Amino acid sequence: MIRLTLPAASDAEAPYVARLNTGRGGVDEADAALVDEDAEGVTYLGRHGVLAIDGASATELDRDVVIVDPVGGRAERILRRGSGHNTLLVTERCDQLCLMCSQPPKKTHVDRFALFEQACLLAESDSLIGVSGGEPTLYKDDLLGMLERVLAERPDLEFHVLTNGQFFDDDDVARLRDERYTRVSWGIPIYAADAALHDRIVGKDGALSRLEKSMAVLARAGARIELRTVLVADNADALPRLARYVAKRLRFIEVWSIMQLENIGFARARWASLFVEHARDFGPIGDAIDYAALHGIRAQLFNFPRCTVPEPWRDLARASISDWKRRYADACAPCRERDACSGFFEWHPIQQAEDGVTPL
């Protein structure tokens, strides 16, 4: 597993952003340049003074963009070079409380938008940057402002924002029609077409109705939407009906991601009652995908190891798990489709993973 936060020492007074640089190919003003490396770690020098990071090599960290927290004594690798899975966690607050939340919300909010903005401006060319939470649109103005300024400055960047879609309203249509938003896609969860069921899963009354209002706003703005549905015991049998709902009411989405559960956060404690063994009964999932495909809606499967998906639908299973939290079972060693496979979350129950695979 790749570590995203490393112990670090710095004399700066406040958190700052730096791009770590071994010095090959020139050093920029925003860079912290390599001055020393030993078995413990790496030392850099930049405009905020000396920065010492432990537990990684200069090669590993080269061109990573980090947020240094001098008081906390750590450096967060916000944008790792060459990774397609960089994500900004802009808040830990949320207005929903989903049954299976992988990142349970906290009450407090630390505003780091200014640091994130600086980091994004240092991003590698042509990167896609994720934005997540908590619920990012609780701070909608800060969020949109950051996106707009970064996208104006950096025409090569794209963002993917995870949001529960509870806060868009009619006034946003004109703003979201701006050309820059063609480089933003919104990952929005929906769990069921039935309002009572959806609302129960997300722990908020009226959530589906409010989501519909936001969806209408986003559609009118021509926003790019990735619809997301996490599979849990509660909604598995309702998937075909959800597929009909999507094909009738949400035709404007780009893609529908059906996601297997991640064994972390709330889902860890409720694993036995939430996890659906799709390999045992793929029926409702296959029906839902077929119905969506029939109506020209592209569906894809996230976090479904390829060998656990029946052959007709297997090509829809993506290598979806972020590099830093992905692993394969020992039994996966001889598999020919490993590179195309999601594998498992680092924290997936180990025996369940070993027992569940059949190398292709």
The one-character DSSP state at 72 is T
Alpha helices by DSSP H, 310-356 = 311-314, 350-356
State in angstroms the smallest separation of the CB of 213 from other proteins: 6
Q: Give φ, ψ of 276 to 5 degrees.
A: -105, 125
Comparing CA positions, the residue from 190, 262, 278, 192 lying closest to residue 226 is: 190
State in angstroms the smallest separation of the CB of 244 from other proteins: 8
Toward other proteins, which CB reaches closer, 34 or 231?
231
- The angle that helices 283-294 and 239-249 make with each other, rounded to 10 degrees, is 10
Toward other proteins, which CB reaches closer, 93 or 213?
213
- Is the peptide bond between 134 and the residue preceding it cis, with omega within 30 degrees of 0? yes
Structure tokens at 184: 């933003």
Toward other proteins, which CB reaches closer, 196 or 294?
294
E strand or H helix at 34, and its extent?
strand 31-37
Toward other proteins, which CB reaches closer, 106 or 248?
248
State in angstroms the smallest separation of the CB of 176 from other proteins: 14
Question: How far from chain centre, in Å, is Cα 80?
Answer: 14
Toward other proteins, which CB reaches closer, 111 or 205?
205
Q: Give φ, ψ of 242 to 5 degrees.
A: -65, -40
State in angstroms the smallest separation of the CB of 234 from other proteins: 21
State in angstroms the smallest separation of the CB of 168 from other proteins: 12
Toward other proteins, which CB reaches closer, 50 or 236?
236
Binding footprint of other proteins on the chain (CB under 8 A): 212-213, 215-216, 219-220, 244-245, 248-252, 286-287, 289-291, 293-296, 312-313, 315-316
State in angstroms the smallest separation of the CB of 123 from other proteins: 26
Q: Alpha-carbon distance 75 to 182, whole Å?
A: 32
